[in-house]
């Protein structure tokens, strides 16, 4: 999977506006200050693919980036520190839930969590949605360079224990600044996006039941 060739496709305001030709996609979700855009840029090797705003939570659209042959990375709206009315936050929570539960092309969820503040309410909510939707989940503990090696490993082990009960849950250390965990993250994405079983299931659902 050539992540360096990722290109922006479209910004969707809701599920209906998402691309119809997507065969498989992996969504990136995280609190507004978790470093989501930085992670996408680092993984794709492009500094400006995903916009990095100085105002956390500014992005309120579902952004699609094409890789190849109908595969996409999807940047979901940040959540947590956005200075927007409560009604707007509630609306986006509904849109987010609808996308995660009903998007047929979705084959995996990357959850970004600041290693210094893991397992916040939003993180647990996303984990619950992944479990309920039987969706593979991989957590990036971002900004791992902010902690000493021992402290980072302790947090990693703690989160691993919590995910032990999940059939499709995994976690790793990640740092956009120091390029920590980039290859591991790319390997997970390639595995999900290239899985024949995943692609076949999506294509079958798109075609509908056989007559």
Q: What digits encode the pLDDT tens for the residues 68-77?
A: 889 999 999 8
* Residue 189 to residue 73: CA distance in whole angstroms: 9
Which of the pair, 89 or 57, is modelled with greater confidence?
A: 89
Question: Of the candidates 178, 168, 164, 186, which has an alpha carbon nearest to the alpha carbon of residue 73?
Answer: 186
- Put the strands of the sheet holding 24-30 in their side by side order: 7-12, 62-66, 71-75, 24-30, 106-114, 137-142, 169-173
pLDDT, position 211: 43
The pLDDT tens digits for 115-135 are 999 888 889 888 988 888 889
What pLDDT was estimated at residue 33? 83
Which residue, 171, 174, 136, is CA-closest to 156?
171
- pLDDT confidence tier of residue 210, bands split at 50, 70 and 90: very low
Burial level of 87, CB count in 10 A (0-12/13-18/19+)? Answer: exposed
Contact 155, 118 (CB under 8 A): yes
Radius of gyration of the chain (CA): 16
Q: Which two tokens stand for residue 43?
A: 């993984």
Q: How far is CA 160 from the centre of its chain?
A: 18
Q: Is 0.85 surpassed by the pTM of this model? A: yes
Instruction: Give the DSSP H or E segment for 108.
Output: strand 106-114
């Amino acid at each position: 999977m050539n992540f360096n060739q990722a290109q922006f496709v479209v910004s969707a305001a809701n599920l209906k506006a998402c691309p119809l030709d997507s065969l498989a996609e992996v969504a990136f979700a995280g609190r507004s200050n978790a470093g989501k855009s930085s992670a996408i840029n680092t993984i794709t090797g492009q500094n400006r693919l995903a916009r990095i705003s100085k105002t956390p939570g500014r992005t309120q659209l579902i952004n699609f980036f094409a890789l190849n042959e109908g595969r996409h990375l999807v940047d979901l709206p940040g959540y947590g520190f956005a200075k927007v009315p409560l009604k707007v936050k509630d609306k986006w929570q509904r849109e987010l839930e609808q996308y995660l539960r009903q998007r047929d092309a979705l084959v995996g969820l990357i959850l970004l969590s600041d290693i210094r503040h893991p397992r916040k309410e939003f993180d647990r909510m996303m984990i619950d949605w992944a479990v309920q939707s039987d969706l593979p989940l991989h957590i990036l503990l971002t900004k791992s360079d902010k902690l000493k090696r021992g402290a980072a490993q302790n947090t990693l082990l703690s989160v691993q224990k919590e995910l032990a009960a999940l059939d499709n849950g995994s976690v790793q250390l990640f740092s956009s600044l120091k390029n920590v965990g980039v290859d591991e993250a790319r390997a997970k994405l390639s595995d999900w996006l290239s899985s024949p079983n995943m692609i076949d299931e999506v294509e079958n659902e798109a075609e509908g039941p056989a007559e």
